[in-house]
């Protein structure tokens, strides 16, 4: 063994040193992100850029696989890729410490550039990543050097390529633990501070000038295991591209209305709240929802009709679209007509009696009955540009999704769950239940088929409005014990029947009949 080989760190050690130094980069940046805001954290920025770049089928697949856990899955995968990259850098550092330092520094610089490209960041926001890099690069060199044998050459363990615990492993373990504690602690603090702020963000919800009809108890069918008719805020699905939930102080918020208008308008939050408000029950649906999926929720919203403000600004001839923009750069293209006809298209500030939760767009979001969220439901809204489809394109239209997104008729079975077992009641019957929606048209009928039998008419819960979902139930008398298949389809109030033709979510929403298997005891 040559002296040079003897001085070289064992492979596992070098890889570990790389991972620990890389982890320290992230931990230090996360700590400083406490000062600069979550959006400046490198993982948040790089993940956000990744989401913006992926083709629609990947987003589709991620939601199909992970549902609303897609963000956790993304962070976990990023962590693995980061660990693999930094392990490789560490390995390189055995022979080429200079190159390893340059690569780790380069990785930090690339992340800093990505931080700078995010809509909500400005130049100072690169600080956390840069400082993290400045700590990580010398740390890597130091960890790699920890391995070298003592100058007098008497260190037999090192000479044989083993790692001596006190001189090497201890500093490594201490650094790793420090990175975990600092990084994890900063993340937790970031989260708890956000929670504290969320409470401080409460404001007086305006009393609506136009009230929504009370929801009758019969809107909910009497079937055990059905989702509630109104979806509680903390159970409402959340879909967006924001890895760090935007944090907006209503005092700093304003809405700019411009483009093809006679008179540009800018409203403060207070001015918005001074407008007459409307209350409406509206079911929101995500275009990424698969047949039978759960990316739909029903809430009572309070907000100012978009129509009121567009009238005040004066929409000019030739306009056919409003491009809404969020604080974090997301955009949606809504057909002008959907915002000026008589439906309840709102600049919503309240959801189910509470100020909008931050995850759902605090302080102001759009809610447009009848259109999928990606073309209408902009959260953290800051801007409305009156324009034309020919002149402007929205976030998802640039990524292969249809530029218009009317919601397709949908129905699903909620009870039983797939492959569940139902036990007949005292009268030897089982009860099935589910949900159907066709916003802006309303549900006229729901039909249910068991195995290859005839279609049966389901009983419908009370219809609250054409913009909300309708629950259905079906009592099946004398069910045969064994395995069965149930299939459901709906008919809207215009007489259109839900198509059997299967389509995947991209580019304009899934279609097909929901069907699942279950067992009767
Ligand atoms: N700013 C912003 N608003 C957004 C999105 C987004 O990514 N960013 N996603 C839209 C999509 S695709 C949907 S389905 C709805 C979901 O609203 P929710 O998360 O409140 O359920 O928000 C819409 N508004
Ligand atoms: Mo969506």
Q: What angle do CA 459, 461, 466 make, to 5 degrees?
A: 115
Query: Which range (163-177, 402-416, 442-456) has the least confidence?
Result: 163-177
Count of CA atoms in the C-beta half-sphere (13 A) of 131: 16
Q: What is the DSSP letter of 379?
A: S
Last-in-domain residue among 380, 399, 418: 399
Q: State the distance from the centre of ligand 2 to the C-alpha of 126, rounded, in angstroms.
A: 30
User: Do residues 463 and 347 share a domain?
Assistant: no
* Residue range 330-356, pLDDT digits in tens: 999 999 999 999 999 999 999 999 999
When pLDDT is averaged across residues 409-421 and rounded to a whole number, the result is 98
Separation of alpha carbons 516 and 169, rounded Å: 55
What's residue 167's pLDDT? 67
Q: Which of 377, 410, 505 for mutating ligand 1's site (highest number of atoms within 8 Å of CB)?
A: 377
Ligand 1 contact via 241 beta carbon (within 6 Å):
yes
Atom number in ligand 1 closest to CA 241: 7
Supply the mean pLDDT for the chain: 91
> 156 or 208: whose pLDDT is higher?
208
Ligand 1 contact via 326 beta carbon (within 6 Å):
yes
* Residue range 463-482, pLDDT digits in tens: 999 999 999 999 999 999 99
What's residue 37's pLDDT? 84
User: Do residues 176 and 231 share a domain?
Assistant: no
Q: Report the CATH number at residue 464.
A: 2.60.40.650
pTM score: 0.79
User: Do residues 28 and 176 share a domain?
Assistant: yes
Separation of alpha carbons 409 and 438, rounded Å: 5
User: Do residues 273 and 190 share a domain?
Assistant: no
Q: Structurally, how many domains does the chain consist of?
A: 3
Ligand 1 contact via 43 beta carbon (within 6 Å):
no
Residue identifier of the C-alpha nearest atom 24 of ligand 1: 378
Residue identifier of the C-alpha nearest atom 16 of ligand 1: 239
Ligand 1 contact via 71 beta carbon (within 6 Å):
no
> 445 or 245: whose pLDDT is higher?
445
Print the domain residue range for 14. Answer: 3-200
What's residue 299's pLDDT? 98
Separation of alpha carbons 213 and 280, rounded Å: 8
For residue 510, whether the previous peptide bond is cis, meaning omega lies within 30 degrees of 0, is no
Residue from 235, 245, 187, 512 nearest 365 by CA: 245
Q: Residue 392: pLDDT above 80? A: yes
Q: Residue 6: pLDDT above 60? A: no
Q: Which of 231, 245, 352, 374 for mutating ligand 1's site (highest number of atoms within 8 Å of CB)?
A: 374
Residue identifier of the C-alpha nearest atom 20 of ligand 1: 360
Last-in-domain residue among 349, 366, 399: 399
Query: Which range (136-150, 284-298, 450-464, 497-511) has the least confidence?
Result: 136-150
User: Do residues 242 and 330 share a domain?
Assistant: yes
> For the CA atoms of 175, 176, 182, 186, what is the dihedral angle to 10 degrees?
150
Pairing of strands 410-415, 455-457: unpaired
Ligand 1 contact via 284 beta carbon (within 6 Å):
yes
User: Do residues 369 and 501 share a domain?
Assistant: no
Q: Report the CATH number at residue 235.
A: 3.90.420.10
Asked if residues 269 and 259 have their Cβ atoms less than 8 Å apart, the reply is no
What's residue 355's pLDDT? 92
pLDDT tier, 1 (very low <50, low <70, confident <90, very high otherwise): very low
Residue identifier of the C-alpha nearest atom 1 of ligand 1: 379
Query: Which range (67-71, 206-210, 221-225, 381-385) has the least confidence?
Result: 67-71
What's residue 247's pLDDT? 86
Ligand nearest to the CA of 506: 2
* Residue range 34-86, pLDDT digits in tens: 888 888 999 999 999 998 888 878 888 888 888 778 888 898 999 999 999 99
DSSP characters for 158-223? HHTT---IIIIIHHHHHHHHHHHHHHHHHHHHHHHHHHHHHHHT--PPPPPSBPPPPPPGGGS-S-
Residue from 136, 137, 138, 142 nearest 179 by CA: 136
Asked if residue 439 is part of any domain, the answer here is yes
Asked if residue 205 is part of any domain, the answer here is no
Separation of alpha carbons 475 and 432, rounded Å: 6
CB burial string 184-202: b at 16+ within 10 A, e below: eebbeebeeeeeeebeebe
The separation between CA 151 and the C-alpha centre of its own chain, rounded to angstroms, equals 55
Ligand 1 contact via 375 beta carbon (within 6 Å):
no
Asked if residues 138 and 62 have their Cβ atoms less than 8 Å apart, the reply is no
Asked if residue 216 is part of any domain, the answer here is no
Q: Residue 438: pLDDT above 60? A: yes
Query: Which range (132-146, 196-210, 443-457, 476-490) has the least confidence?
Result: 196-210
């Amino acid at each position: 063994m040559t002296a040079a080989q003897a001085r070289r760190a064992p492979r596992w050690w070098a890889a570990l040193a790389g991972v620990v130094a890389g982890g320290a980069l992230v931990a230090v940046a996360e700590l400083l992100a406490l000062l600069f805001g979550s959006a400046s954290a490198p993982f948040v920025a790089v993940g956000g850029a990744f989401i913006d770049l992926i083709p629609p089928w990947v987003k589709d697949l991620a939601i199909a696989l992970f549902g609303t856990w897609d963000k956790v899955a993304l962070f976990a995968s990023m962590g693995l890729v980061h660990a693999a990259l930094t392990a490789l850098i560490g390995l390189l550092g055995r022979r080429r410490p200079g190159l390893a330092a340059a690569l780790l520094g380069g990785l930090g610089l690339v992340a800093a550039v990505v931080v700078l490209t995010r809509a909500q960041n400005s130049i100072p926001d690169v600080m956390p990543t840069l400082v993290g890099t400045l700590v990580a690069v010398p740390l890597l060199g130091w960890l790699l050097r920890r391995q070298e044998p003592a100058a007098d050459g008497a260190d037999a363990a090192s000479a044989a390529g083993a790692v001596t615990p006190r001189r090497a492993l201890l500093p490594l373990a201490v650094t790793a633990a420090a990175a975990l504690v600092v990084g994890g602690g900063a993340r937790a603090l970031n989260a708890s501070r956000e929670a504290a702020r969320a409470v401080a963000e409460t404001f007086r919800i305006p009393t609506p000038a136009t009230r929504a009809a009370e929801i009758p108890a019969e809107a909910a069918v009497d079937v055990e295991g059905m989702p509630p008719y109104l979806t509680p805020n903390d159970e409402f699905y959340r879909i967006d591209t924001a890895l760090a939930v935007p944090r907006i102080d209503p005092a700093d918020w304003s809405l700019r209305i411009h483009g093809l208008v006679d008179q540009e308008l800018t409203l403060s939050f207070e001015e918005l709240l001074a407008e007459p408000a409307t209350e409406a029950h509206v079911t929101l649906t995500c275009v990424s929802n698969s047949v039978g999926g759960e990316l739909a929720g029903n809430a009572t919203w309070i907000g100012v009709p978009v129509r009121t403000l567009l009238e005040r600004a004066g929409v000019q001839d030739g306009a056919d679209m409003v491009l809404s923009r969020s604080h974090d750069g997301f955009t949606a293209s809504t057909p002008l007509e959907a915002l000026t006809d008589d439906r309840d298209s709102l600049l919503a500030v309240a959801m189910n009696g509470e100020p909008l939760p931050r995850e759902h767009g605090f302080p102001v979001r759009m809610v447009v009955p009848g259109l999928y969220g990606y073309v209408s439901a902009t959260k953290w809204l800051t801007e409305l540009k009156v324009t034309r489809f020919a002149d402007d394109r929205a976030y998802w239209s640039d990524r292969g999704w249809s530029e218009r997104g009317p919601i397709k008729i949908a129905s699903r079975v909620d009870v039983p769950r797939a492959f569940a077992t139902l036990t007949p009641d005292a009268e030897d019957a089982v009860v099935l239940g589910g949900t159907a929606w066709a916003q802006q048209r309303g549900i006229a009928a729901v039909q249910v088929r068991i195995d290859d039998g005839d279609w049966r008419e389901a009983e419908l819960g009370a219809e609250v409005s054409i913009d909300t979902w309708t629950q259905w139930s079906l009592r099946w008398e004398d069910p045969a014990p064994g395995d069965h298949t149930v299939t459901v389809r709906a008919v809207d109030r215009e007489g259109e029947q839900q198509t059997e033709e299967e389509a995947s979510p991209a580019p304009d929403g899934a279609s097909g009949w929901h069907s699942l298997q279950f067992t009767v005891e």
